[in-house]
Structure 1
Amino acid sequence: MCTACQSNQKEEDVKKTTAVTKIVEGADGQKLDSILTPYLEKLRNLSDNNAGLAIGITKGDQIIYAHTFGYANIEANHKADFNTVFHIASVSKPFTAAAIVKLVQQGKLNLDDKLIAHIPDFKMKGEAYKDITIKHVLNHTSGIPRHVSANDWEHPKPLQANLQYVKNFELDFTPNTAFSYSNSAFDILGIVIENVSGVSFEDYITTHILQPAGMHQSTYIKPKDSLPATWAKPYSYGLQTQEWSPYPYAPNYYPSSGLQTTLLDMCTWGMLHAGKGTYNGKTIFDKNHFKLLTTPYYKTPWGDHIGLSWFLQSYLERPIIMHTGADTGFESIMYVYPNEEISIIVMANRDFSRTGRIINAASEVLFDSVPKNYNLSARYKFTEAYKKHGIDKAKETWERMQKDTTDIYFVNNDDILTTGAVLENGNYWKETQDILTYYLTLNKKSTYAWRLLGNAYLHQKDTLKAVECYEQTLAINPNYEKGKAALAALKNK
């Protein structure tokens, strides 16, 4: 489809769904709305969450329940709706797998082809990398380390940069001898798709997967220096829901985590998988090739299996194919129940949105089980006490809740660290200082906490205490590079 045609189609889709936030169809939809909706509202209230949440449930070729909650952009007062575009992180991986299977269906490659056959420039230390096949990457048995480059969202690179990142690493193990989830391997797989198809990674998936399926609001492309009005902003939770910076976007991570999409588009994706490659009369994969995606290829460490990117598990004693996704500021999760032709998608633009509990609750309601009670981090009670009464009362609250095992709250000291880290990201320097100082009474050996505390002191003009904190990181770990960099930056001022 031409670019102008795509633009017109997107505008028409937007007009059809403007400001729509809810669909309820049939008896199952009514049941979900009467039980699941208040369940979600209570969970969001208890976790102080006013950011966006989108959930869609399909059966056959019909959406039976779809609902958005909260705000895509809190500061602009923009509520999440069916036009809201969410970053779905690793739920992008099945789209990359789908592109590979489409190329197989087109006769352009085979799953057992070696990476070096399609990427002559692909090199790593040692010789074992030469035996990595496309299938090894798709079922996470390639041995390529999980992260050969940090998630550097502030300095986006082109897809080909992944070859430079990986060349100085050795495999973690001989291909096809172990399972180890690898984002970096998937990012290299995007180069295979480009080299075999002769077009860019994003153009191939748009032309052969997204547009034929009718997913017209899904894209990999974000404007360079702005966030479109319909896109959800990333949020995390410090003392309240706060914006997270930077937005998780970089072309070199498109294959592993780069798709931006809407609730209705993901419902279409779910119906396509529930229909084994066909949705609403449109066949994207014939059944034999679709089966490649969901054939169990390798056993995972937790006793289930993996297909081509999809994890093959079960819930409520029913088989599911599933994938999760999380980048700071966003969460996503998808289940497909193939025997029941049901799909569920949950997306959120805030950390700690409990999307896993939400999708399981939706399953429980659908299959006539009572939704399980949720547990919540005691951080919400800690932050509530801090906001009302200060750090001393917050500490007292935390220590009291450590001894209380009778309520829905659980205590994990690292949640205090997370709270401090989120506050540091948002430049709340005094609050960061208060909370990380307390955390370091619980764990004196955290180089991360000492460094962030140093940043808080530095931004409050207390250079001496900042230096003490940075030096403490090196006392714990002399090789801690970020501690060295912080001290070097001070000396160069």
Structure 2
Amino acid sequence: MTDVDAALATLFSDWAPDEPGGVAAVLHGDRVVARRAFGLASLEHAIPNTLSGRFHIASVTKTFVGAALAMLAHQGRLDLDADARAIIPELAVPGPITLRRLAGMTAGLRDAMEMMKLRGVWYRYPRSEADLTALALAQTEPSYPAGERYVYTNIQFNLCALAIARTVGKPFSAAVDELIFTPLGMTRTLIRDDPETMTDGLANPYIKDAGGWRRGAWAFGVSGAGGLVSDLDDLIRWNLALRDGSVNGVPIVAMTERGTLADGTPTNYGLGLGIRTWRGLTVWVHGGSLPGYKANFARVPERDLGFVLLSNREDADPYARLRRLLELTLGESVPAPPVPDTGLDAATLKALDGTFVDANSGEPLTLTRTESGLTGDKLGFALSLAPQGKGVFRDGWANADTIVRVESGPRLHVDFGGQRGVYLPANPPTLTDADRAAYAGRYVCPALATEHTVFERDGGLVVRFGPAYHEEAELPLAPLAADTFHGKTGRPGWVSQHVLRFTRAGGVVAGYRISSDRLKDIAFVRVV
């Protein structure tokens, strides 16, 4: 390997010392070969980040949930492949749903955080873990059948945490402490599931906005989905435990086994751990994101290399920095493979710049050509699609493996983690005053115990989530196709996108189904 300390300095050279930053460490074998702290933990008081500082690790929490499940399964205390109702009988969605499907992101459940948004409850408005869990358990329909596709959702890990707690007979925080934290000496790691809990040494979260910085805010209790706070030393201990494959003698290697869809297609996720490849090398990895906090936790087992990044700035881009670190440290020994030709003519390539719509789901995919391939946006899910030859592009680093096959037209065949569809160029209709008036009205959703209002404003349409008014809960709508609309709302740090497909009865608008990246086809019925 090259000089790792110099590589870390290069990797974070764009972070000014008077801005938020973070901490990072690189491991080789059983040793820490480099560690650094960057920037400020508090802009208000000019307090620097230190190697002992704490950060929210967000979804890196899921690695501990996956490990705890693997340990309990090895001990025979739970069965990953039995129906989860053996432990969580309140689960109302029909059909078998196993803990392995929950921890592998293939259970198909509606994401509770997304459902809260549809109620008009944004992430800055307090809702406890119990609130989220109760909403999820009350659902009688899934987003999609279990095993049909991989969709990254948080509620599945809230339920896994509940299963762990009930199996151990203690609250989740105490259970994971007993199973993992205490045996590994992780004394600085704890659940912080509300913004009011005092936590010493915790860096403040920051989001860049309009050239300045503002505080990140999050008030949902996310528990096993992302509620842990930790520091660099504790996550180094955790990285070494993953290297060893066990905690206190109990194996956790089941985390690193790829899941599969019902049709046998492998996913790029194990039990709470992403499984990617970089230039032919396996990378075990999980990122984390809350407004103003970013994290990355990774191992490259073939090179016995580990990486930990904890940051208190929204633009940290931890996955991109991990790949850049691998280039800086391993690039000379693992050269980049040649990039295949796209296999497409110039006219077809040019036509790929733009928005495409799936005729079945109504979901848009916006593509932009780059020197190395395509970038994409699918309801806020960012894609970097590399050419594979013969008109095929692939992103194997996103949460869901994504393959786009281009036919003339252009016509796109998209496989997004098992969500498959044919996308055609968007051809949005021009709406008249009568068209907009036809959509306006009040719509209710018994499953969410909420209502929406669609109304005209400044020559366009807006849908307001929930009965209470606040600006963040308004979604301006832009037409994509007949009776199909796309909307984007939010603020830096947490932007939401949705697609609405209106339904008709006797030619009259009768309701709609609304979807986001992590929630599919919630039905609303028109009442006025």
What is the TM-score with the length of structure 2 in the denominator?
A: 0.61
Check 1:319–1:225 CA distance in 2 against 1; reply closer, same or farther (3 A cut): closer
Q: Which runs of 5+ in 2 are unaligned?
A: 336-369, 381-430, 432-453, 474-528
Shift of 1:134: 0.3
Is 1:138 the counterpart of 2:109? The answer is no
Is 1:326 the counterpart of 2:293? The answer is no
Shift of 1:176: 1.5
Shift of 1:317: 2.0
Check 1:117–1:195 CA distance in 2 against 1; reply closer, same or farther (3 A cut): same
Matched with 1:306 is: 269
Matched with 2:248 is: 284
Shift of 1:242: 1.9
Matched with 2:489 is: none
Check 1:371–1:478 CA distance in 2 against 1; reply closer, same or farther (3 A cut): same
Correspondence 1:68-83 to 2 at 5 A: 68-83=37-52
Alignment counterpart, residue 164 of structure 2, candidates 185, 189, 193? 193
CA distances 1:66-119 after superposition (whole Å, capped 9, x unpaired): 111001111122111122111111111111111111211232101112111101
Matched with 2:465 is: 481
Check 1:330–1:256 CA distance in 2 against 1; reply closer, same or farther (3 A cut): same
- Asked if 1 retains the 8 angstrom alpha-carbon contact of 2:193 and 2:227, the reply is no
Check 1:307–1:475 CA distance in 2 against 1; reply closer, same or farther (3 A cut): same
**SS of residue matched to 2:127:** coil
Alignment counterpart, residue 73 of structure 2, candidates 98, 104, 128? 104
Q: Distance in 2 between matches of 1:74 and 1:302?
A: 47
Correspondence 1:272-421 to 2 at 5 A: 272-277=241-246, 283-286=247-250, 289-298=251-260, 305-369=268-332
Shift of 1:123: 1.6
- Higher relative strand content: 2
Matched with 1:148 is: 115
Q: Distance in 1 between matches of 2:56 and 2:310?
A: 8
Matched with 2:63 is: 94
**SS of residue matched to 1:321:** strand
CA distances 1:155-179 after superposition (whole Å, capped 9, x unpaired): 1314375133441351122212221
Letter in 1 for 2:224: P
Letter in 1 for 2:187: H
Q: Distance in 1 between matches of 2:56 and 2:207?
A: 14
- Asked if 2 retains the 8 angstrom alpha-carbon contact of 1:219 and 1:259, the reply is yes
CA distances 1:328-349 after superposition (whole Å, capped 9, x unpaired): 1111122211122221111211
Q: Distance in 2 between matches of 1:250 and 1:171?
A: 22
- Higher alpha-carbon deviation: 330-339 or 295-304: 295-304
- Asked if 2 retains the 8 angstrom alpha-carbon contact of 1:299 and 1:305, the reply is no
Matched with 1:159 is: 130
Matched with 2:8 is: 36
Q: Distance in 1 between matches of 2:81 and 2:324?
A: 39
Check 1:78–1:294 CA distance in 2 against 1; reply closer, same or farther (3 A cut): same
Matched with 2:227 is: 258
Check 1:94–1:39 CA distance in 2 against 1; reply closer, same or farther (3 A cut): closer
Check 1:110–1:180 CA distance in 2 against 1; reply closer, same or farther (3 A cut): same
CA distances 1:287-330 after superposition (whole Å, capped 9, x unpaired): xx422111122269998622112121111321111111111111
Check 1:245–1:294 CA distance in 2 against 1; reply closer, same or farther (3 A cut): closer
- Asked if 2 retains the 8 angstrom alpha-carbon contact of 1:49 and 1:241, the reply is no
- Asked if 1 retains the 8 angstrom alpha-carbon contact of 2:455 and 2:462, the reply is no
Q: Distance in 1 between matches of 2:187 and 2:133?
A: 28
The aligned length equals 356
CA distances 1:221-244 after superposition (whole Å, capped 9, x unpaired): 368635434101110001345232
Q: Distance in 1 between matches of 2:323 and 2:299?
A: 12
**SS of residue matched to 1:208:** helix
**SS of residue matched to 1:331:** strand
Is 1:220 the counterpart of 2:220? The answer is no
- Asked if 2 retains the 8 angstrom alpha-carbon contact of 1:274 and 1:337, the reply is no
- Asked if 2 retains the 8 angstrom alpha-carbon contact of 1:294 and 1:310, the reply is yes
Correspondence 1:10-49 to 2 at 5 A: 31-41=3-13, 43-45=14-16
CA distances 1:417-473 after superposition (whole Å, capped 9, x unpaired): xxxxxxxxxxxxxxxxxxxxxxxxxxxx9xxxxxxxxxxxxxxxxxxxxxxxx9765
Check 1:194–1:39 CA distance in 2 against 1; reply closer, same or farther (3 A cut): closer
Letter in 2 for 1:271: L
Shift of 1:351: 0.8
Shift of 1:271: 1.2
**SS of residue matched to 1:344:** strand
- Higher relative helix content: 1
CA distances 1:268-295 after superposition (whole Å, capped 9, x unpaired): 1111112222xxxxx4354xx4221111
Check 1:225–1:473 CA distance in 2 against 1; reply closer, same or farther (3 A cut): farther
Q: Distance in 2 between matches of 1:199 and 1:337?
A: 34
Shift of 1:361: 2.0
CA distances 1:348-407 after superposition (whole Å, capped 9, x unpaired): 1111123222212221222144999xxxxxxxxxxxxxxxxxxxxxxxxxxxxxxxx99x
Check 1:369–1:156 CA distance in 2 against 1; reply closer, same or farther (3 A cut): farther
Q: Distance in 2 between matches of 1:474 and 1:201?
A: 49
Check 1:357–1:56 CA distance in 2 against 1; reply closer, same or farther (3 A cut): same
Q: Distance in 2 between matches of 1:302 and 1:336?
A: 24
- Asked if 2 retains the 8 angstrom alpha-carbon contact of 1:148 and 1:169, the reply is no
Q: Distance in 2 between matches of 1:484 and 1:350?
A: 31
Matched with 1:65 is: 34
What is the TM-score with the length of structure 1 in the denominator?
A: 0.65
Letter in 2 for 1:232: A
- Asked if 2 retains the 8 angstrom alpha-carbon contact of 1:50 and 1:70, the reply is yes
- Asked if 1 retains the 8 angstrom alpha-carbon contact of 2:11 and 2:325, the reply is no
CA distances 1:182-212 after superposition (whole Å, capped 9, x unpaired): 1111112211112111100011001211111
Percent of residue pairs bearing the same amino acid type:
18
Letter in 1 for 2:214: E
CA distances 1:17-72 after superposition (whole Å, capped 9, x unpaired): xxxxxxxxxxx5x802224303421x224xx9710221111122211111110011
